[in-house]
Structure 1
């Protein structure tokens, strides 16, 4: 028996033992608890996060353009007043 088939057989037996033991129920209960806990948190999906990130980038670009425009207008006003 080669090592690869030995480990595959061992993995299968361990998985079978876990499925027949209370560990499988424990796994289900832990997943249910975690799902319930996450649902109580104020989390956003990755898609929502990416959309908000794009909105923020556009807003930041507009703000920088407006800041440059205001600076140019202030410089023109200062030049006119001088």
Structure 2
């Protein structure tokens, strides 16, 4: 997943490649690129790093709780 380019970097690379006299085209192209890229990323279910980290933390807490409950069940079964 680390090889997915940052959208801001992609916008800068494409728009900086345009001749400087095409300012209006530059703005229109940047707007269209943002809309298109955002739409494409949503279709392939890409999440932000922040969302990924949040879900990872939730999963870690859930696993810890599950392990604790498994230990409690094993203790009750052994009685």
- TM-score (norm: length of structure 2): 0.51
Q: Which ranges in structure 1 are unaligned for 5 or more consecutive residues?
A: 1-17, 77-82
Query: What CA distance in whole angstroms lies between the structure 1 residues aligned with 2:76 and 2:57?
Result: 29
Residue 48 (1) aligns with residue 51 (2): yes
Residue 61 (1) aligns with residue 64 (2): yes
- TM-score (norm: length of structure 1): 0.50
What per-residue deviation string (whole Å, max 9, x for no partner) do you get for residues 19-53 of structure 1?
Answer: 54xxxx8xx68x92555532432111100000000
Query: What CA distance in whole angstroms lies between the structure 1 residues aligned with 2:42 and 2:74?
Result: 47
Q: Which ranges in structure 2 are unaligned for 5 or more consecutive residues?
A: 1-16, 20-24
Higher relative contact order (CA 8 A, sep 6+): 2
> What are the residue-to-residue correspondences of 1:1-82 with 2, within 5 Å?
19-20=18-19, 32=33, 34-76=37-79
Task: Give runs of ≥4 in structure 1 deviating > 2 Å.
Answer: 31-41
